[in-house]
């Protein structure tokens, strides 16, 4: 069955910094070079934009280009090839247009671009490719002005320094997976980390901390399927905790948000296994963070938020032994609403059972269609996974719900992953939200959660045909890894189900329509999920940008410490991603364009 994903598919800077005094003395931060702006009766101090006189002169960009080895590019959206012109240049090119139009829905193609986003809403959809020639000019929308296609850490350092000294909005772009649009930003200078593809496996880790087992150092640009493949080529084969999505980056936004995936119930969150990070800090310094060097930063990088504390160059992670893995798929498709929702309840109300057996489940839920592919049973054979899931199938039979299902066993996790996880696609425009449910929520409020799912997965929802639904995960990282000293919301340790909600809306829709969609997502769909889960939380990587009380929802009791660490390592807000620690004073004014601080 085809996957739905094919449709949308200042202070004391730590000792390491001070030790590289030669570099730090070279940086001259500016924050006051742009004009004061008044917006809705309030005064703001903004980053410097291309329409301001503070914008760097052509010669300055050219010098930067030399410093970064010719890897600086003025952004021309790939879709421009389908339009008459862009910034006054004739851009129409039938072949390039056709290539962009074909690539647009492919995650791999998107990941390889300088700056596009797979989930296009936040770019404003101003230069999307199309099958037919568009007889008009296209514009950048919210895509960056310039991009550094960084090849070395020095390129990243140069980019950070240039942004800091010129007060530019700095953006970090890895694969462009961010559902919440945080790898795009109006008027910005982007640093693209996608070419950092180095991977080194070791049998015995010798770095700081108590851990002595096997480990892997992963460059920022590595995507999970390529990492899983390399892990499966080691002798003995090893497993890395990464995402379910084959093309998501591991060391970028993913691990900084915490990182769940097919082995997360069995081994824990990705961030639980980080041993060391190499980063470029807000002052452009090269900094290592681990149990001995800069332990505060180390703690924060493990789940404290994407693009918040530095540009990650690489992360070293524990690896684990391969295990035989079983998998089951289950599909329920019916127009009989009563039967359908009985089926959903039979499945979802048993979330605790699955995670207590170390299982992970990926599923998609739309009105009348539940597609579960797969239930993952680490360290299980076919007979074992069938016996764990027997109560679900007994219930479906008792309730007269018809379904299709199959079970398989594999000698490794990697074989299971390759066979059972479906490729995903890109190019969908919409807003996302989400909710994490704890075991207590499932046990006490299971039916209420399923009822809330009816709201979340209900039809086209009067949004001009915009579809809505749930991308669901049964995941309980507390099973294999009861405690871990990191910034991940403590509620994850009690989790048994995590759902992404989504609602379709065009990025070039009128503001009022965007506002209506956002309101509906936050105050109706996500509200129903929140109300059904008093012990739940939310996930910063796959959440709602308008999440009420987001600091608490995304980090719980870890937030105050994260805020302190942000103030120490990036007091001036060089790094910015919406709803991450320390961004309270910042706002994208003038219809989500200029990033500014209230004065
Ligand atoms: C189809 C799909 C499937 C997904 N599956 C999973 C999953 O299984 N598990 C899960 O936990 N999440 C999943 N996610 C969510 C994913 O973890 C986040 O979108 C994550 O932020 C993506 O990181 P990225 O670096 O690949 O993407 P990008 O969009 O390039 O970056 C995302 C964010 O991280 C920042 N960032 C990127 N690189 C760096 C860097 N080197 N240093 C510092 N900051 C950086 C960016 O500025 C941005 O804020 C999925 C998303 C999609 C679209
Ligand atoms: C940077 O230099 C390279 C190589 O000379 C060139 O192709 C590119 O266009 C330059 N970038 C800018 C922004 O001028
Ligand atoms: C993005 O779209 C909104 C309308 O939805 C518009 O107000 C805004 O100016 C656009 N911004 C850019 C940079 O295209
Ligand atoms: C790793 O450590 C183990 C036990 O400490 C030891 O037996 C093994 O030989 C070491 N392996 C390598 C490759 O050094
Ligand atoms: C996790 O669950 C335990 C037991 O119900 C509870 O005491 C604890 O407060 C929960 N932690 C969080 C962060 O929800």
Three-state SS for 339? helix
Residue with CA closest to ligand 3 atom 1: 124
Domain definitions of the chain by residue range: 2-21+31-190+588-598, 199-322, 325-420, 430-548
Residue with CA closest to ligand 2 atom 9: 73
Gap from CA of 331 to ligand 5 centroid (Å): 33
Q: Name the residue of 253, 545, 566, 588 whose CB sits within 8 Å of the most ligand 1 atoms, as the mutation to test its pocket.
A: 253
- Smallest-distance ligand from the CA of 552: 5
Annotate 127-180 with DSSP letters as a single string.
S---SS-EEEEE--TTS-SEEEE--SHHHHHHHHHHHHHHTPPEEEESSS--TT
Residue 70 CB neighbours (<10 A): 10
Ligand 3 cavity residues, CB under 6 Å: 124, 126, 141-142, 186, 509-511, 514, 591, 593
| Residue carrying structure tokens 């605790």 | 352
Residue 331 CB neighbours (<10 A): 17
Nearest C-alpha neighbor of 153 from the set 71, 75, 93, 63? 71
Assigned token pair, 89:
């240049």
One pLDDT digit (tens) per residue for the chain, 599 residues: 334 343 333 323 333 344 444 444 578 999 999 999 999 999 999 999 999 999 999 999 999 999 999 999 999 999 999 999 999 999 999 999 999 999 999 999 999 999 999 999 999 999 999 999 999 999 999 999 999 999 999 999 999 999 999 999 999 999 999 999 999 999 999 999 999 999 999 999 999 999 999 999 999 999 999 999 999 999 999 999 999 999 999 999 999 999 999 999 999 999 999 999 999 999 999 999 999 999 999 999 999 999 999 999 999 999 999 999 999 999 999 999 999 999 999 999 999 999 999 999 999 999 899 999 999 999 999 999 999 999 999 999 999 999 999 999 999 999 999 999 988 889 999 999 999 999 999 999 999 999 999 999 975 443 334 578 999 999 999 776 657 899 999 999 999 999 999 999 999 999 999 999 999 999 999 999 999 999 999 999 999 999 999 999 999 999 999 999 999 999 999 999 999 999 999 999 999 999 999 99
Predicted local confidence at residue 458, as pLDDT: 77
Gap from CA of 412 to ligand 4 centroid (Å): 23
Residue with CA closest to ligand 2 atom 13: 73
Predicted local confidence at residue 478, as pLDDT: 76
Gap from CA of 594 to ligand 2 centroid (Å): 26
- Smallest-distance ligand from the CA of 73: 2
Nearest C-alpha neighbor of 477 from the set 537, 532, 406? 537
CA distance 276 to 195: 20
Gap from CA of 110 to ligand 2 centroid (Å): 22
Three-state SS for 203? coil
CA distance 224 to 21: 37
CA distance 504 to 521: 10
Vertex 25, ends 22 and 31: CA angle to 5°?
Answer: 145
- Which spans in 284-438 are helix H? 295-301, 337-348, 351-356, 382-398, 413-420
Instruction: Report whether CATH 3.40.50.880 matches the domain 199-322.
Output: no
Nearest C-alpha neighbor of 74 from the set 188, 221, 151? 188
The finding on whether 391 has its CB within 6 A of some atom of ligand 2 is no
CA distance 503 to 497: 20
The finding on whether 556 has its CB within 6 A of some atom of ligand 5 is yes
Gap from CA of 479 to ligand 5 centroid (Å): 14
The finding on whether 402 has its CB within 6 A of some atom of ligand 2 is no
Gap from CA of 315 to ligand 1 centroid (Å): 15
Gap from CA of 320 to ligand 4 centroid (Å): 15
Nearest atom in ligand 5 to the alpha carbon of residue 556 is 13
The finding on whether 494 has its CB within 6 A of some atom of ligand 5 is yes
Q: Specify the CATH number of the domain 325-420.
A: 3.30.70.600
Gap from CA of 42 to ligand 3 centroid (Å): 21
Cβ atoms of residues 245 and 224 within 8 Å = yes
Predicted local confidence at residue 156, as pLDDT: 98
**b vs e for 486-516, b when ≥16 Cβ sit within 10 Å of the residue's Cβ?**
bbbbebbbbbbbbbbbbbbbbbebeeeebeb
Gap from CA of 245 to ligand 1 centroid (Å): 10
The finding on whether 396 has its CB within 6 A of some atom of ligand 1 is no
The finding on whether 333 has its CB within 6 A of some atom of ligand 5 is no
Predicted local confidence at residue 591, as pLDDT: 94
- Smallest-distance ligand from the CA of 65: 2
Cβ atoms of residues 31 and 572 within 8 Å = yes
For the four alpha carbons of 222, 250, 172 and 126, in that order, the dihedral sign comes to positive
CATH top-level class for 430-548? alpha beta
CA distance 289 to 277: 5
Q: Can 199-322 and 325-420 be said to share one CATH topology? A: no
């Amino acid at each position: 069955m085809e996957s739905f994903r094919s449709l949308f598919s200042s202070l004391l800077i730590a000792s390491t910094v001070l030790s590289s005094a030669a570099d730090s003395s070279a940086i001259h931060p500016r924050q006051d070079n742009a004009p004061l702006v008044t917006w809705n009766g309030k005064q703001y101090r903004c980053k410097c934009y291309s329409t301001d006189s503070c914008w760097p002169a052509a010669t300055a960009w050219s010098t930067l280009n030399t410093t970064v080895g010719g890897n600086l590019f003025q952004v021309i959206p790939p879709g421009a090839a389908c339009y008459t012109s862009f910034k006054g240049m004739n851009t129409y090119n039938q072949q390039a247009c056709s290539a962009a139009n074909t690539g647009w829905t492919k995650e791999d193609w998107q990941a390889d671009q300088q700056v596009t986003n797979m989930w296009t809403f936040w770019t404003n959809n101003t230069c999307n490719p199309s099958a037919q020639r568009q007889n008009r000019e296209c514009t950048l929308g919210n895509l960056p002005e310039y991009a550094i296609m960084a090849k070395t850490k020095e390129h990243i350092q140069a980019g950070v320094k240039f942004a800091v000294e010129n007060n530019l909005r700095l953006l970090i772009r890895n694969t462009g997976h961010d559902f919440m649009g945080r790898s795009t930003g109006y008027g910005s200078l982007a640093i693209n980390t996608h070419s950092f593809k180095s991977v080194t496996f070791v049998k015995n880790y010798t770095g700081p901390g108590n851990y002595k087992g096997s480990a892997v150092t992963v460059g920022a640009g590595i995507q999970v399927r390529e990492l899983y493949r390399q892990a499966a080529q080691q002798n003995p084969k090893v497993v890395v905790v990464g995402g379910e999505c084959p093309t998501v980056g591991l060391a970028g936004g993913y691990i900084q948000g915490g990182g769940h995936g097919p082995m997360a119930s069995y081994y824990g969150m990705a961030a639980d296994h980080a041993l060391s990070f190499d980063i470029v800090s807000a002052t452009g310094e090269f900094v290592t963070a681990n149990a001995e060097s800069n332990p505060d930063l180390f703690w924060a990088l493990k789940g404290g938020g994407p693009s918040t504390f530095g540009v990650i160059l690489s992360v070293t992670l524990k690896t684990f032994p391969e295990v035989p893995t079983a998998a089951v798929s289950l599909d329920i498709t019916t127009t009989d609403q009563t039967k359908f929702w009985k089926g959903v309840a039979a499945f979802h109300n048993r979330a605790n059972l699955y995670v207590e057996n170390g299982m992970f489940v990926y599923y998609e839920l739309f009105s009348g269609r539940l597609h579960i592919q797969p239930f993952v049973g680490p360290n299980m054979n076919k007979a074992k996974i069938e016996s764990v899931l027997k109560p679900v199938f007994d219930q479906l039979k008792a309730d007269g719900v018809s379904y299709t299902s199959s079970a398989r066993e594999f000698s490794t996790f990697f074989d299971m992953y390759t066979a059972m996880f479906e490729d995903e696609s890109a190019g969908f425009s919409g807003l996302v939200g989400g909710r994490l449910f704890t075991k207590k929520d499932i046990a006490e409020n299971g039916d209420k959660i399923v009822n809330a799912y009816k709201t979340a997965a209900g039809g086209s929802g009067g949004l001009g045909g915009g579809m809505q639904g749930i991308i669901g995960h049964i995941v309980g990282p507390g099973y294999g890894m009861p405690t871990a000293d990191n910034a991940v919301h403590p509620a994850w340790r009690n989790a048994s189900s995590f759902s992404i909600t989504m609602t379709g809306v065009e990025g070039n829709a009128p503001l009022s329509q965007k506002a209506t969609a956002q309101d509906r997502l936050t105050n109706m769909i996500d509200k129903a999920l929140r109300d059904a889960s008093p012990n739940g939380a939310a996930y910063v990587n796959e959440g709602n940008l308008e999440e009420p009380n987001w600091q608490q929802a995304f980090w719980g009791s870890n937030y105050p410490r994260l805020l302190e660490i942000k103030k120490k390592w990036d007091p001036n807000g060089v790094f910015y991603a919406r709803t991450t620690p320390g961004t309270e004073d910042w706002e994208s004014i003038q219809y989500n364009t200029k990033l500014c601080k209230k004065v």
